[in-house]
Structure 1
Amino acid sequence: MATQFKLNGKEVSVQAEPDTPLLWVIRDEIGLTGTKFGCGLALCGACTVHLDGQPIRSCQTPVSVVAGKKVATIESLSKDNSHPLQKAWIAHDVPQCGYCQSGQLMSAAALLSTNQHPSDTDIDNAMSGNICRCGTYNRIRAAIHTAAAEMRKA
């Protein structure tokens, strides 16, 4: 069965069962591997993508849900690490093992798309569904503040 949706600004059509998790469609059918499989239960946030601008867990979202909608993955931020969040992540040396980072970045991007002046509490609330095994939460928060400041200048 074909499902059509917009992925990172481009129309795509995939042949997948309607209950196939979006994560596997993105990774296996389309070939974008930036979105990661973590727990498979929507608990860790590694698989976070945007659906019509809202962060969702792609491991538990059936592809049928995204038909006719807009999906954005980590690849949509930039191809050369020039997005303010990516630059801030590098400047604050956020990644350790790096596995959770695409989900962390996508959750942070969703926050900054609606809140240009996030408080620590705003950041903690927006990022609460993303687990970092390496414990770089303070660096993540600092990087989000840095990216927000850069985005306000633009």
Structure 2
Amino acid sequence: MTTIDRTTTTSTTGNRAVRIVGILGLVAGLVMIVAGAVTWATVSSQLSAQNITVSEDAAFLGGDVVDGPFSAYAQAQIIDEHALAATDGLTYAELDREDPLRDTAMNASFLRASLFTSVVAYGVSALVIGLGVVVGVFGWSLRSLAAEPAAKPAATA
């Protein structure tokens, strides 16, 4: 009587599926890295095009061109300090509706929100790049595991 060993067929099919998932992981990781880098570069170029310089009296990066997450954050912080100094420490919501300084506080708030949006975009870009690396490493690992020859099953009697 002849026995049929189905373990080898299942192992080969399983290896093929793992290789495909590994390739998908590598491709997805690469796409994520490229997308994150393109977003980072786009935000940087758009900030640079505005020709904003961090105020000299900022806590850090004074005089630096706003073209990255740290300079955008530094400028947003000093805008807040300047606005609060101009309004005697009152925020937009705290100022009377007829107060002429309310426009100053409003503009400062809008500028800060725009700069913080850039900071968030940088954070998301970095996250996507990091996740792309992780997904790519998992894909590479799966491909490596699938490339290993399957263990031969023990002979059946």
The normalised TM-score by structure 2 is 0.27
**Bigger-Rg structure (1/2):** 2
Higher RCO (C-alpha 8 Å, min separation 6): 2
